Amino acid sequence: MFGFIYFFLSVVLYIIALPLLIYLSFKEKYKESIPARFFLKNNPKFSKPNDIWFHVCSLGEARALKPLLDRLNTEVDITTITHTGYAEAKKYKAQVRYLPYETFIPFWATKHKLLVVLEAEFWYMLFAVLHKKGAKVVLLNARISDKSSKKYQKMAWFYKKLFAFVDLVLAQSEIDKARLEALGAKNVVVVGNIKLAQKIVKTKEYPKPSGEIIVAGSTHEGEEKVVLEAFLKYKKIQKDAKLIVVPRHPERFESVYELLQTSGLDVKRWSEVQNFDADIILVDAMGELNNIYAISDIAILGGAFREDVGGHNPLEPAHFGCKIITGKHFFHQKELFRYTHHVQYVETDEILKALQNAKDLPPSQVDETIDIETVIQRIQSYA
């Protein structure tokens, strides 16, 4: 009965949201994902379903699949939510689709032996339908952030029904385990964060530019402004300092470029010059961030200077020996930051001071690992 009510309400919500969905489908950011997810445009069922179906939200989770898929060495099916996650998933030996809105799941989902869902992608209809079709459902890298915990608790009655369809939960930490169990999850095992198993690599080799190189990586709206303000003051002290800005979302490249031009310094787009000679460089291309970290001295990691994003993966800049500066709102990446040492956590008005202090600090580093083979064995035991 609850399943029917939930499905009915999802249909009502879909109808109400239709005008907004149509409007958003013309936006650059959503022109592929919304038509695919909400109108099934170019998004058919899996033609020949494989045994294992992985579902991820976006780019970071899609990348986290690599060590698993390399060792599984079999073709799988993958669904994603975002266009960046979709593009990353297409690199694997897999059938890739966008996950449709829940109204379509009962008619779209195909039979699999195992559904593996990463992190906090809690889709009731997906779990219920796959369970009914005989699949085992596993949550991998499961987490409940500090910020989200109270919101989930208010809906504990709902999540208890959702977790009734989940066979195994592989949690990131003991705290996550306790929070998940409080919501009704059973068979919860702490395995750590699978992102620790990622092999961090460069795709290109760039010569290190002269001067002190500061990269502002995975920045969001509002963060470039505070970083730029701090950099302009810092450059008066450190004359040879250069700033490389790598926004998180490509649809913001133009607006960020306009902001950087207000600096009065020499500003260039990476796509036009392919070098780091200018005072400030906007990297208006995807897939370059690791290559940039590899030539940088200091990384100002975005996503944590705003209260609503939750931070980004610190393992990559730490791997390349950058001195990391980030904000204090990293609730979605708390476990990864716990493993990352020598990080400066600052408010927006403290970025300048952090830049000045960086010369006296060691590079950030990660000294934790995860037994990915154990994780794979647990997954395979349910396949």
Residues 6+ apart with CB under 8 A from 5: none
- Kindly give the confidence (pLDDT) of every residue in the chain, 383 residues in length, as a single tens digit, with 9 standing for 90 and above: 898 999 999 999 999 999 999 999 999 889 999 999 999 999 999 998 999 999 999 888 999 999 999 988 889 999 999 999 999 999 999 999 999 999 999 999 999 999 999 998 999 999 999 999 999 999 999 999 888 899 999 999 999 999 999 999 999 999 999 999 999 999 999 999 998 888 888 999 999 999 999 999 999 999 999 999 999 999 999 999 999 999 999 999 999 999 999 999 999 999 999 999 999 999 999 889 999 999 999 999 999 999 999 999 999 999 999 999 999 999 989 889 988 999 999 999 999 999 999 988 899 998 777 888 889 999 888 87
> Which DSSP category does 172 fall into?
S
- Give residue 233's identity as a one-letter amino acid code: K
CA distances from 315 to 17, 190, 222, 276, 342 (A): 38, 20, 23, 24, 12
Strand 52-55, strand 298-301: pairing = unpaired
- Residue 121 among the catalytic residues: no
According to CATH, where is 3.40.50.11720 located in the chain? 2-192
Q: Which residue, chain included where needed, has tokens 């009915």?
A: 8
| Strand 242-247 versus strand 280-282 pairing type | parallel
Alpha carbons 270 and 245: distance in angstroms, whole number: 10
Instruction: Provide the Cα torsion 259, 262, 265, 268; round to 10°.
Output: 40
The four Cα atoms 61, 363, 192, 329 give a dihedral, to 10 degrees, of -60
In contact, 216 and 302? CB cutoff 8 Å = yes
Non-local (6+) Cβ contacts of 122 within 8 A are 159, 162
Give the whole-angstrom CA distance, residue 150 versus residue 159: 13
Helices (H) and strands (E) in the chain, counts: 18, 16
Q: Where in the chain is the domain with CATH 3.40.50.2000?
A: 213-366
Options 32, 61, 102, 212, the catalytic residue:
61
* Nearest alpha carbon to residue 364 among 320, 302, 311: 320
In this structure, CATH architecture of domain 213-366: 3-Layer(aba) Sandwich (3.40)
- Mention the CATH class of domain 2-192: alpha beta
Q: What is the pTM of this model?
A: 0.82
Residue 197 φ/ψ, nearest 5 degrees: -90, -5
